[in-house]
Amino acid sequence: MKIVVLDGYTINPGDLSWQELDTLGEVRIYDRTAPSEVVERCRGYEFILTNKTVITAEMLDRMPDARYIGVLATGTNVVDLMAATAHGITVTNIPAYSTESVAQEVWALILAIVQRVESYTSAIREGEWAQCADFSYLSWPLMELHGKTVGIVGFGNIGHAVARIARGFGMKVLASTSKPQDALPEGVVKADLDDVFRRSDIVTIHCPLTPETEKLVNAGRLALMKRTAILINTSRGGVVDETALAEALERGEIYGAGVDVLSTEPPKPDNPLLHAPHCVVTPHIAWATHEARARLLRIAISNILSYLAGAPKNVVN
């Protein structure tokens, strides 16, 4: 059995082991693969593993040996699923491996905005506290989360985890979801999407990027939010109209934003959110804790073993 990993670096920059994968057959691992290199690198390999390297229908036409593609992520938009199916190729993904890590990042972004830890640390290093006449140096407003309302758009595994943490802070929780009210946890109230934006102190996005959700957060919905409200996005950059969000922040129409994803990654230098006021940006790292990446690798190997046993799991086509 021959296995190729097209872009292994982000999953394993050196702190994990490929040893268990190596036991399955002949394995070739590339840190990164350019689009022009995909077909050549996949030639002769039956099992192809990819994280963000795109595999198109045209590429699949030139990969006669491929019979299995393992997407090393939850989202599967990097593979043309219809073309893979037409070629008899099984495609799997890795669901729910990073739920707790992404939920943790959501609250890291929220706390970075409401507690201003980075701003205060920078000011202290510049001597501001040492020169202060009072024991407590208060330069930026702080916000208490207890009693506030968090609105969750999309209530899958991550939305559920975010809600659990919110309840620990003593917050009220609204959810925009297709699930009925009686299927939601205690303390979570189902609400219309626009009502979530209108009523929440914090709105956090957890829906997939589809044609229906592209720019779901637009100028109209941002205008519904309170001037004191915060927007968080750890789903996909394309769910947010980045220009509209930057303009809302510039005009003070909402208080702040925290994003871990952008519409183009790595971002172009002129992305408006990179320079928008009161906007915390992290480089798509919510999924990337050591524990989540190790879990991802274990599930990827388990997916291959299940396929070889004739009982494939996590199949997406």
Q: Which residues are catalytic?
A: 236, 265, 284
Pairing, β 149-153 against β 202-205: parallel
User: 265: which residues sit within 8 A by CB, 6+ positions away?
Assistant: 237, 283, 284
With CA atoms as reference, report the closest residue to 56 among 1, 66, 12.
66
Copy the structure tokens of residue 106. Answer: 């959501």
Both structure tokens of 23: 């036991």
Output the CA angle 211-84-68, nearest 5 degrees. 125
**31 conformational bin, left if phi > 0, alpha if psi -120 to 50, beta if neither:** alpha
Q: Are 74 and 292 in contact (CB under 8 A)?
A: no
3-state secondary structure (DSSP) of residue 258: strand
Alpha helix stretches (DSSP H) within the chain: 19-22, 38-42, 57-60, 81-86, 99-115, 117-125, 157-168, 193-199, 219-224, 242-250, 290-308
Whether the CB-CB separation of 203 and 151 falls below 8 Å is answered with yes
Q: How many CB atoms lie within 10 A of CB 108?
A: 19
User: Would the CA dihedral through 154, 159, 291, 284 be positive or negative?
Assistant: positive
255, 277 Cβ separation under 8 angstroms: no
Q: Cβ distance 47 to 73 under 8 Å?
A: no
